Amino acid sequence: MPKVDVYNIEGKKVSDIELADSVFGIEPNENIVHSVLKNYLANQRQGTQSTKTRAEVSGGGKKPWRQKGTGRARQGSTRAPQWIKGGVALGPKPRSYRYTVNKKEKRLAVKSVLSSKVLEKELTVVDKLELKEIKTKSMVNALAALKVEGKTLIVLPENDKNVVMSARNIKDVKTISANNINVFDLLKYSNLILPVDTVKKLEEVYA
């Protein structure tokens, strides 16, 4: 079992914790991570792009010139794709990009990224992350005390308004609840901060 130090928000080590091998100690599967990440990004697409076909643009009801005898190419409408203000041939239409992946693959992908965070020493465990009031400076001081720099993801055991509101104006810092953990955020943010309660919740769900 991987063992990591547990800090308080003042940055002092208070204990250590053994992480479950089944969640934080597996061999990362890059192929599964890539597959699940592609699925996540595809499901975020709105698919609202749209172009007008020749049937949808205005005008073009009359044949521009007679079929034969003019020396010009035959034309049936001034709204065919080759004409200015004509319709678009084979253009995009609203569609859904959603597709599903196996639930086991999603779980394996999350566990793979969590395990890689442990291997790369990008995981910081705190005993608890609580703030008495909504204050950005308090969160900045806590991150400084924990020596966390750069893109940071804080995964809370449940939604905590004081922590969420205090962190939302800090550049490159994001807070989510354990229920909303996903591969995209885990990969996007290089540093991961987990309170002990979050660790227990993740082990309970993903073990």
Among 3, 8, 5, 13, CA closest to 141: 8
Query: Do 91 and 105 sit in the same domain of this protein?
Result: no
Query: Do 182 and 83 sit in the same domain of this protein?
Result: no
What is the structure's pLDDT at 151?
Answer: 95
Domain boundary, last residue among 62, 79, 96: 96
Query: Do 85 and 8 sit in the same domain of this protein?
Result: no
Query: Do 106 and 152 sit in the same domain of this protein?
Result: yes
Q: Cα–Cα distance between 190 and 88 in angstroms, integer?
A: 43
Query: Do 111 and 21 sit in the same domain of this protein?
Result: yes
Query: Do 115 and 178 sit in the same domain of this protein?
Result: yes
What is the structure's pLDDT at 55?
Answer: 93
Residue 120: CATH number of its domain: 3.40.1370.10
Query: Do 163 and 84 sit in the same domain of this protein?
Result: no
Q: Cα–Cα distance between 26 and 75 in angstroms, integer?
A: 66
Query: Do 113 and 197 sit in the same domain of this protein?
Result: yes
- The pTM of the full predicted model, rounded to 2 decimals, is 0.84
- Longest CA–CA span in the chain (Å) reads 93
What is the structure's pLDDT at 172?
Answer: 94
Query: Do 110 and 190 sit in the same domain of this protein?
Result: yes
Specify the number of domains making up the chain. Answer: 2
What is the structure's pLDDT at 64?
Answer: 95
Residue 114 near residue 20, CB atoms below 8 Å: no
Tens-level pLDDT at each residue, the chain (207 residues): 788 999 999 999 999 999 999 999 999 999 999 999 999 999 999 999 999 999 999 998 899 999 999 999 999 999 999 999 999 999 999 999 999 999 999 999 999 999 999 999 999 999 999 999 999 999 999 999 999 989 999 999 998 899 999 999 999 999 999 999 999 999 999 999 999 999 999 999 998
Query: Do 79 and 130 sit in the same domain of this protein?
Result: no
Query: Do 121 and 177 sit in the same domain of this protein?
Result: yes
Domain boundary, last residue among 59, 79, 96: 96
Query: Do 72 and 170 sit in the same domain of this protein?
Result: no
Q: Which domain holds residue 54?
A: 48-96
What is the structure's pLDDT at 1?
Answer: 76
Domain boundary, last residue among 96, 125, 156: 96
